[in-house]
Structure 1
Amino acid sequence: MPRRFRLLLTALALAALLWLLFAAAERALALAQRFLALPAALQWTLGGALAIFAAAGLSVLWWLLRPRRKRRPMPAPDRDSLEQRIDQLRSRGADTGALGSELAELDRRRASERVYVALFGEISTGKSSLIRALAPQAIAASDVRGGTTREVRHHDGALPDGRTLVLADVPGSREAGGEAHETLAREEALRAHAVIYLCAGDLNRQQADELRWLADFGKPLLLVMNKADQWDAAEREQLLAHLRQLSRGIASAVLAISAGGSERFQRTLADGRTETVERQRQPAIEPLLRALARLTARGAEGLESQRENAVLAGLHQRTGALEMQSRAEEAERIVRKYARRAVVGALAAVAPGSDLVIQGVLATGLTRALAQLHEVPVSDVQIEDFVRQARLTLRTGSSIVLAVAGNALKAFPGLGTLGGGVLHAFAYALIFDAMGRALSASLAERNTLDQDDAGARLKALLTDADGPRLRQLATLTLDAVRERDAPPP
């Protein structure tokens, strides 16, 4: 474009800008004059409304443009309290071997004073090639089944400054083997001092979720886009910009590399025939080596506190899940025990079907036992109120309970012909099973004795004709009947 023409366009643009500024100033002065001409009360009202709208607009603008804060890692529990919880689980008969092994591995790696780096990412992102590039002596294979890393493998690698690293090759996301292999990968990522998250382009939803999960544990992280030689310069920069935006506040650095690996191409021979040739591409991982050197510059000792917090936070979650499982199993045993006692009490009652006269003490004991299991403090008054409300629920639903019990007994030849006492005994088994399950679920979720919530759950369970549950209760009733009718030794 000629210089004079550029100057002319610049002058026209400046003139248009000045005209817009003068027009805006003139409009603003006119509005100000009209505003000052209004009554004082209306001025205050209109001015306040404009101020509120302006403040709201500025708040929204600040929320959109403000720099994203770095994600704070989840708090880690105190190790002593965690070990006490594990000991309590062990005393209840829970399998805590994996939790104890995790604590032992935490201590072992601390004593080794070596830096562990986990290579994390989906299959087909070039993890095996990167392992070979970082640790040439490593043997990292893959095949058409979608990944063959069935366990965590460790390889020794070295940085340009001579420092050594332990590289952890973990199973890839969406690898053959499913959830078990993904659990292995995540646990190893928490044990590592730092993580290399490898992708081969833009991130999908699952990969973004994995990044946020790692950030929640405060892991020092490098987001690395492999196979960068597949994109031209403009495409590569666009992808990197988007990755930086997605990982803002999460990744310490976002970079592009080419881990090498093999490639196949068709070659035309002199006689016109073609053949498939496979050759190795040279890796280009210098940016990763520099970023990894910066990320691990503090050494194992400097990164150990973050690593320990991540491991303990992960153990806290795993211990909590095991506690829930153990508590659920114990609650099942308690409910089954009181359902059996209710059946025995109903069979021994002089007037079957009486309004929980014999069963009142059992209902009180069931409520107290479940509250103690879930560590929910309850008073005698609360227990009495809940039992009273449960009785009202059973009065209104007694016909439904008996109908469900009668239909269930028809599936057991011989059991339904043993008399009305068996029907009422089975009905009591249904009642106490439903009451126990409803109360246990409510206590676990709400951590308090919420009578309304437990009552609603009880109503739903009383009308639930679940086949396996009814068969278990019918078997329990039949066993009690046989024990009653068995001749004395």
Structure 2
Amino acid sequence: MSRRLRLLFSALAMAALLWLLFAAAERALALAQRFLALPTWLQWTLGGILLIFAAAGLSLLWWLLRPRRKRRPLPVPDRGSLEQRIGQLRERGADTGTLTAELGELDRRRASARVYVVLFGEISTGKSSLIRALAPHAQVASDARGGTTRDVGHYDGRLADGRTLVLADVPGSREAGGEAHETLAREEALRAHAVIYLCAGDLNRSQGDELHWLADFGKPLLLVLNKADQWTSVEREQLLTRLRQQSRGIASAVLAISAGGSERYQRQLADGSTESVERQRKPAIEPLLQALDRLTAPGAEGLENLRENAVLAGLHQRTGTLEARTRAEEAERIVRKYARRAIVGALAAVAPGSDLVIQGVLATGLTRALAELYGVKVSDVQIEDFVQQARLTLRTGTSIVLAVAGNALKAFPGLGTLGGGVLHAFAYALIFDSMGRALAASLAERHTLDQDDASARLKELLTDAGGTRLRQLATLTMDAMRERSSTD
């Protein structure tokens, strides 16, 4: 387009804009005159409505355009309290070796005063090629953990200013090996001072979740688009724009590189045939080196607090998971113990009504033991109310319990023909197993004695005719009968 045409179009656009401004001003003045001609009470009413709409519009505009707050890292526990929890778990027989080793690794890396950077991302994003580009000699670092964790490799790298760092190569997410490899990668990411998150295109949902997970632990992070040479400059800028939007408040920088590596292509020969050729692509990682230099400028000492917080926060979660699993195992043992006592009590109940006394005593003991296990303080009144509510639930569901018990016993040749005493004992086992499981699940989730929730769970378990649980209860009943027979 010639210069004269550009000037002409610019003049026409300016004239159109001025016309619109004059038309808007004229319309606004006309509306103002009509507004002033209205009665005073109507002016105040309309004015108030307009102010409300204006405030709502400004609020919506601020909500859309306001700068996003940085994600707050997860709360960090005190190390002393964390070690105390681990010690309590060890005393209860839990395997705390990995938790203790994690604390030892935390201290070892702090003492080494070296900067650790982990390469994180999905498979096929070019992590191995980037390792070779950042550490051309690829010598295993002297303090590598590769000897103990074969799926995590450590390599000595060097920045442009001569500073060294340790590069951690971890398994890619969505890799064969599944959850175990993903756990290794995430644990190593928490141990590192900084993270290079590598992608080869737009982020999918799982990658977005990983970024937010890393942000929750406050990890300094670079989002790196690899294989940038496969897009045009326009496509590359569009991708980078989307990645910046997806990682706003998370990534310190978003950049594009080409890690190099090998590629295969078909070459036409002079005789018309083709051959497969492999060649090495030259890496172009200068933007990453510069960003990495800025990110790690504080050094190991300056980044250590963030790294330690991430490790302790991760240990807090892992310890909580082990605590929950240990409590669940202990709850299982308590429930099994009281189910066995219920069987013995039912077999020994000969006087009319004595089984109801046994039922009440055992239910009270079961409730108290599980509440103590989960650290829930309950009064005698609460326990009595819960036992009474459980009795009402059982009274209305007696026929269902007996039907389930009778059907289960038929699966054991000879056991189902031993008489009503066995059926009664098995029904008690089913009742106390259901009550214990319902109460344990409710206490674990609600952290209080919620009678309605526990009763609802109890009803559901009483009607659950699952083969595995009933088979275990039948075996428990048979064992109790044999022991009683041997003592008679």
TM over 0.5: yes
Aligned positions of 1:141-156 closer than 5 A: 151-156=151-156
> Which residue is equivalent to 2:383?
383
Pairwise CA distance, 1:65: 1.3
> Which residue is equivalent to 1:343?
343
Contact 1:170 1:185 in 2 (8 A): yes
Q: 2:35 and 2:348 mapped to 1: Cα distance? A: 90
Q: 1:381 and 1:51 mapped to 2: Cα distance? A: 57
Tell me if 1:204 matches 2:204. Answer: yes
Q: 1:301 and 1:102 mapped to 2: Cα distance? A: 19
Structure 2 vs 1, CA of residues 462 and 351 (structure 1 numbering), >3 Å: closer, same or farther?
A: farther
> Which residue is equivalent to 1:217?
217
User: SS at the partner of 1:358?
Assistant: helix
> Which residue is equivalent to 1:30?
30
Q: 1:39 and 1:441 mapped to 2: Cα distance? A: 67
Structure 2 vs 1, CA of residues 420 and 76 (structure 1 numbering), >3 Å: closer, same or farther?
A: same
Q: 1:431 and 1:335 mapped to 2: Cα distance? A: 11
Pairwise CA distance, 1:289: 0.8
Q: 1:408 and 1:354 mapped to 2: Cα distance? A: 25
> Which residue is equivalent to 2:184?
184
> Which residue is equivalent to 1:51?
51
> Which residue is equivalent to 2:434?
434
Structure 1 segments unaligned to the other structure (5+ residues): 141-148
Pairwise CA distance, 1:25: 2.1
> Which residue is equivalent to 1:106?
106
Aligned positions of 1:126-145 closer than 5 A: 126-138=126-138
Q: 2:312 and 2:190 mapped to 1: Cα distance? A: 9
User: SS at the partner of 2:397?
Assistant: helix
Pairwise CA distance, 1:481: 1.2
Amino acid at match of 2:481: V
Pairwise CA distance, 1:487: 4.8
Q: 1:359 and 1:345 mapped to 2: Cα distance? A: 8
Contact 1:409 1:416 in 2 (8 A): yes
User: SS at the partner of 1:130?
Assistant: helix
> Which residue is equivalent to 1:370?
370
Tell me if 1:323 matches 2:330. Answer: no
Aligned positions of 1:295-310 closer than 5 A: 295-310=295-310
Contact 1:352 1:424 in 2 (8 A): no
Identity of aligned residues (%): 85
Q: 1:448 and 1:455 mapped to 2: Cα distance? A: 14
More divergent stretch after superposition (215-224 vs 28-37): 28-37
Alpha-carbon RMSD: 1.7
Aligned positions of 1:3-42 closer than 5 A: 3-42=3-42
Structure 2 vs 1, CA of residues 419 and 39 (structure 1 numbering), >3 Å: closer, same or farther?
A: farther
Tell me if 1:228 matches 2:200. Answer: no
User: SS at the partner of 2:424?
Assistant: helix
Contact 1:346 1:352 in 2 (8 A): no
Question: Runs (4+) of structure 1 moved beyond 4 Å?
Answer: 351-355
Amino acid at match of 1:379: S
Aligned positions of 1:81-100 closer than 5 A: 81-100=81-100
Q: 2:352 and 2:296 mapped to 1: Cα distance? A: 75
Pairwise CA distance, 1:7: 3.1
Contact 1:259 1:285 in 2 (8 A): yes
User: SS at the partner of 2:418?
Assistant: coil
Contact 2:349 2:355 in 1 (8 A): no
Q: 1:139 and 1:445 mapped to 2: Cα distance? A: 49
Structure 2 vs 1, CA of residues 355 and 47 (structure 1 numbering), >3 Å: closer, same or farther?
A: farther
Q: 1:109 and 1:338 mapped to 2: Cα distance? A: 48
Tell me if 1:467 matches 2:452. Answer: no
Pairwise CA distance, 1:83: 0.3
TM-score with structure 1 setting the length: 0.95
Contact 1:132 1:139 in 2 (8 A): no
Q: 1:40 and 1:469 mapped to 2: Cα distance? A: 79
Amino acid at match of 1:300: A
Pairwise CA distance, 1:221: 0.5
More divergent stretch after superposition (477-486 vs 215-224): 477-486
Tell me if 1:170 matches 2:133. Answer: no
Structure 2 vs 1, CA of residues 52 and 133 (structure 1 numbering), >3 Å: closer, same or farther?
A: same
Pairwise CA distance, 1:218: 0.5
Q: 2:78 and 2:93 mapped to 1: Cα distance? A: 23
Structure 2 vs 1, CA of residues 11 and 279 (structure 1 numbering), >3 Å: closer, same or farther?
A: closer
Contact 2:346 2:355 in 1 (8 A): no
Amino acid at match of 2:467: G
> Which residue is equivalent to 1:145?
none
Contact 1:264 1:279 in 2 (8 A): yes
> Which residue is equivalent to 2:143?
none
Amino acid at match of 1:386: F
Pairwise CA distance, 1:354: 6.3
Pairwise CA distance, 1:139: 7.5
User: What does the per-residue CA deviation read over 1:415-456, in whole Å, with 9 as the maximum and x for residues that have no partner?
Assistant: 111111111111111111111111111111111111111111
User: SS at the partner of 1:238?
Assistant: helix
> Which residue is equivalent to 2:265?
265
> Which residue is equivalent to 1:404?
404
User: What does the per-residue CA deviation read over 1:5-54, in whole Å, with 9 as the maximum and x for residues that have no partner?
Assistant: 33333332222222222222232233333333444444333332322222
Q: 1:119 and 1:231 mapped to 2: Cα distance? A: 23
Structure 2 segments unaligned to the other structure (5+ residues): 141-148
Matched positions, count: 480
Amino acid at match of 1:159: L
Amino acid at match of 1:127: K
More divergent stretch after superposition (34-43 vs 161-170): 34-43
